[in-house]
């Protein structure tokens, strides 16, 4: 697809926590004029907040077009939709339950336009779940979007170039991990992963490695039976169903020995098992992609980073990569769906399609 065609992809960017580094990395990433060559960015947030951060960081060269609704979007320009009119008292670098809910307002507005087809993909800047809902009730972007699009078929996928790591379980206490590892859950996540690797990443026959739950893959039952009775069983059934799944591999040496380079993706059993090595290898370039959703959503693979907010030192690399990946996946999905929409009829005479 040509750059001219790619420039038509409309990427919504929710502003995230206004006291964290989200506005800074958005400004820095979109200050690069090459960004509007590949997409039309639309920031969902507040022009007042962006202006305050721009002034505080002395990034006055960043320009954007303020619009009232998505219908006023100007292609190949940075656009901004005001999702609220209130004057917020920013405390850059501090968590605040007074400003936290405005991150949700931006997310809701962007999600509404995404569901209506007015934007093509969504990039979510980092939030603080506690400031949005101190008493609970908001568990994160992924769960919010899964509910908005009425699906439980989603997968947390961390991506950096050819390095792709997904998780069987996500944000749950370590004490509950073992009870959540079932053959059915592993196979469910594997199926989502395979579909995504084919449709979103253009890999026809993906090879997938599964990590073991226990140290040394259970040491033949000495350190737990889950890997023999559950993970291995899932690998065997997946392979019988045509999925090129391998493992389980002991997690401690898998990445250090470079084994991950032999596979198109890795399925880890729990959050830190996958994210610690991933972030070690690709901290600044990593992207969090939610596979399985009917829409495209990516996010930088970092948090609000209050400790460096407002100091001008935050790297925009992960957000930039999140935008690029959203564009790539949107285009690949369109190509894949077009190629598979009406398969050619099989010819009895020639034996060809």
pLDDT of residue 6: 45
pLDDT of residue 343: 60
Task: Answer yes or no: are the C-beta atoms of 274 and 234 closer than 8 Å.
Answer: no
The larger pLDDT score, comparing residue 220 to residue 324, is at 324
183 lies in the same domain as 124: no
Question: Of the residues 250, 268, 285, which one is the last residue of a structural domain?
Answer: 285
pLDDT of residue 38: 93
Task: Answer yes or no: are the C-beta atoms of 330 and 120 closer than 8 Å.
Answer: yes
122 lies in the same domain as 3: yes
Distance CA 122, CA 107 (A): 9
pLDDT of residue 216: 87
Of 32, 248, 266, the closest CA to residue 160 belongs to: 266
Distance CA 133, CA 42 (A): 25
pLDDT of residue 252: 87
pLDDT of residue 140: 86
171 lies in the same domain as 187: yes
Please report, for the domain that includes residue 205, its CATH number.
3.40.718.10
E strand or H helix that includes residue 148? helix 141-148
4 lies in the same domain as 147: yes
Segments forming the whole domain that contains residue 78: 1-151+293-353
Tens-place pLDDT, residues 124-180:
999 999 999 887 778 889 989 999 999 989 999 999 999 999 999 988 899 999 999
pLDDT of residue 345: 52
Tens-place pLDDT, residues 192-242:
999 999 999 999 999 999 999 988 886 777 788 899 999 999 999 999 999
90 lies in the same domain as 157: no
Tens-place pLDDT, residues 23-66:
999 999 999 989 999 999 999 999 999 999 999 888 878 899 99
Structural domain count, the chain: 2
316 lies in the same domain as 336: yes
Task: Answer yes or no: are the C-beta atoms of 149 and 163 closer than 8 Å.
Answer: no
Average confidence (pLDDT) over 247-255? 91
Distance CA 301, CA 279 (A): 8
User: What's the burial of 121, exposed, middle or buried (CB within 10 Å: 0-12/13-18/19+)?
Assistant: buried
Residue 112 has pLDDT above 90, yes or no: yes
237 lies in the same domain as 273: yes
pLDDT of residue 136: 72
List the helix and strand counts (H, then E) for the chain.
14, 12
91 lies in the same domain as 81: yes
pLDDT of residue 195: 97
């Amino acid at each position: 697809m040509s750059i001219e065609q790619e420039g038509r992809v409309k990427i919504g960017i929710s502003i995230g926590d206004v006291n964290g580094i989200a506005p800074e990395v958005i400004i820095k990433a979109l200050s690069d004029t090459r960004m509007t060559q590949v997409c039309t960015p639309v920031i969902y947030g507040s022009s007042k907040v962006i202006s305050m951060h721009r002034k505080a960081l002395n990034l006055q060269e960043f320009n954007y077009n303020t619009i009232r609704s998505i219908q006023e979007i100007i292609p190949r320009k940075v656009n901004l939709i005001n999702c609220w009119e209130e004057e917020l008292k920013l405390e850059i670098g501090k968590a605040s339950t007074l400003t936290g809910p405005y991150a949700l307002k931006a997310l809701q507005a962007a999600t509404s336009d995404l569901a209506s087809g007015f934007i093509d993909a969504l990039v979510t800047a980092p939030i603080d779940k506690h400031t949005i809902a101190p008493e609970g009730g908001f568990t994160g972007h992924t769960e919010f979007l899964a509910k908005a699009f009425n699906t439980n078929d989603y997968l947390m996928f961390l991506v950096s170039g050819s390095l792709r790591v997904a998780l069987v379980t996500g944000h749950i206490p370590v004490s509950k991990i073992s009870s959540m590892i079932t053959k059915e859950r592993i196979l469910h996540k594997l199926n989502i992963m395979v579909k995504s690797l084919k449709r979103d990443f253009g890999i026809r026959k993906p090879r997938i490695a599964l990590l073991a739950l226990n140290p040394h893959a259970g040491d033949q039952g000495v350190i737990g039976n889950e890997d023999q009775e559950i993970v291995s069983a899932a690998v065997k059934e997946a392979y019988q169903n045509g999925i090129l799944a391998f493992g389980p591999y002991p997690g401690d040496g898998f990445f250090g020995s470079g084994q991950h380079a032999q596979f198109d993706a890795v399925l880890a059993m729990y959050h830190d098992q996958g994210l610690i090595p991933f972030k070690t290898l690709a901290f600044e370039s990593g992207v969090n992609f939610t596979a399985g959703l009917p829409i495209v959503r990516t996010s930088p693979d970092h948090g609000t980073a209050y400790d460096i907010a407002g100091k001008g030192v935050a790297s925009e690399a992960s957000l930039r990569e999140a935008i690029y990946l959203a564009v790539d996946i949107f285009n690949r999905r369109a190509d894949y769906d077009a190629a598979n929409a009406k398969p050619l009829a099989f010819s009895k005479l020639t034996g060809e399609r």
